[in-house]
Amino acid sequence: MRIDNIAWDIEPDIVKRFLPPRSLPPDHPQPIHICIDRHDGRTKDYMYIEVASQAAAKRILQTRQNVPMPGGKATGGRTRVVTISQVTHRELLCELRPGSKAELIWLLELCEAALSTDPAPSPATPVLGRLRHQAAVSAGKRVHYIKYRQSPFHALMSIMSKLRGPESPAYWDVFYVASGAIALLATSLKSGGPDRSTDDQLLQHMSSLFDTCFGRRIAPVPHDQSP
C-alpha cells in the first residue's frame, strides 16, 4: 500500500501507531518503507507499507483514509492528512531497487552523515575498505536534509528485505554497503553517541536482517570494549 502526503520527518514507530492494530505482518523484517532521495537524504512525500492480509488493507482504507498522520520531532508532531491506495508489489520493487552502485555508496554516505556532523574519516576497518573511505569524503555535508537520524539505515534495510539471494544484481554491492553501515552503527555506539538505546535496537535489527540476507552474522562491537 502507498501512503501519500506524509511528513518529511516521519518515523517507522509513528506509522505503526497510526495504523490499526495487527495491520503489519508479524514475521516481516521490514514492512514499513519510508522512501528517501538516496543522494541527499530528503524524505519523499510518499511511503509504502506491506500489510498482513487483504482484510488488513481493507480496514486501513476504511479507517485511515484522509486521516491526519503525525509528523516527527522536527515538526513537533504536526499532522498532515494522508491518502492511501493499494498498489502492486512491482511498484514497490521499482521504488526500492537501486539504480546504480553509486546510489548505494551515496546511501552509505548518508548513514555516515546521520551519525556524525564531522566529515573527517574515521580509521578504516576491514569490513569497510574502499567504500568506507569514499563515504567519509562527503559525510557530514548532507546532514541538514536528514530529519530523522535513522532514516538512511531504514532505507538500506528496505533494500535488503527485497534481495532474492546472490542472483540479485546488486547483491554484493548491498552486502558491502550493509557491512559498512553496521560497522558505523557499532562504532557510534562504542563512542557513546546520542540515542544509544534507539541505535542499539537498530543495530540488532540490522544485524539480524543481514544474517537473513547473507547467511552470516556481523557481531556487534561491545560498547565497553576496544576493537
Q: How far is CA 72 from the centre of its chain?
A: 15
Q: How many domains does the chain have?
A: 2
Please indicate, yes or no, whether residues 203 and 111 belong to a single structural domain of this protein: yes
Please indicate, yes or no, whether residues 89 and 101 belong to a single structural domain of this protein: no
CATH number for the domain spanning 14: value is 3.30.70.330
Please indicate, yes or no, whether residues 169 and 126 belong to a single structural domain of this protein: yes
Q: Report yes or no on 227 lying in a domain.
A: no
Q: What is the pLDDT along the chain (227 residues), one digit of tens a residue?
A: 999 999 999 999 999 999 999 999 999 999 999 999 999 999 999 999 999 999 999 999 999 999 999 999 988 999 999 999 999 999 999 999 999 999 999 999 999 999 874 433 444 445 455 555 455 445 455 667 788 889 999 999 999 999 888 888 899 999 999 999 999 999 989 887 667 888 999 999 999 999 999 986 555 544 444 33
The string of pLDDT tens digits covering residues 131-154 is 554 554 454 556 677 888 899 999
Please indicate, yes or no, whether residues 40 and 135 belong to a single structural domain of this protein: no
Please indicate, yes or no, whether residues 142 and 115 belong to a single structural domain of this protein: yes
Contact between 94 and 48 (Cβ < 8 Å): no
Please indicate, yes or no, whether residues 76 and 115 belong to a single structural domain of this protein: no
Please indicate, yes or no, whether residues 89 and 111 belong to a single structural domain of this protein: no
Contacts of 90 (CB under 8 A, 6+ apart): none
The string of pLDDT tens digits covering residues 62-104 is 999 999 999 999 889 999 999 999 999 999 999 999 999 999 9
Report the C-alpha gap between 140 and 120 in whole angstroms.
9
Instruction: Give the containing element (helix H, strand E) for 57.
Output: helix 54-64
In this predicted structure, what is the pLDDT of residue 222? 46
Last residue of a domain, one of 59, 78, 94: 94
Question: Which residue from 78, 81, 111, 126 is spatially nearest to 178, judged by alpha carbons?
Answer: 111
Q: Phi first, then psi: give them for residue 67, nearest 5 degrees.
A: -110, 140
Contact between 184 and 111 (Cβ < 8 Å): yes
What residue numbers bound the domain in which 102 lies? 97-214
3-state secondary structure of 220: coil
Side-chain half-sphere exposure of 33, counting CA atoms within 13 A: 25
Please indicate, yes or no, whether residues 122 and 200 belong to a single structural domain of this protein: yes
Contact between 37 and 44 (Cβ < 8 Å): yes
Report the C-alpha gap between 162 and 164 in whole angstroms.
6
In this predicted structure, what is the pLDDT of residue 142? 61
Q: Report yes or no on 122 lying in a domain.
A: yes
In this predicted structure, what is the pLDDT of residue 168? 86
3-state secondary structure of 80: strand
Task: Please state whether the predicted TM-score (pTM) of the whole model is above 0.95.
Answer: no
**DSSP string across 169-215:** TTHHHHHHHHHHHHHHHHHHHHTT-S-HHHHHHHHHHHHHHHHHHHS
Q: Report yes or no on 223 lying in a domain.
A: no
Please indicate, yes or no, whether residues 24 and 49 belong to a single structural domain of this protein: yes
Please indicate, yes or no, whether residues 110 and 203 belong to a single structural domain of this protein: yes
In this predicted structure, what is the pLDDT of residue 218? 57
Last residue of a domain, one of 64, 94, 124: 94
Last residue of a domain, one of 71, 94, 117: 94
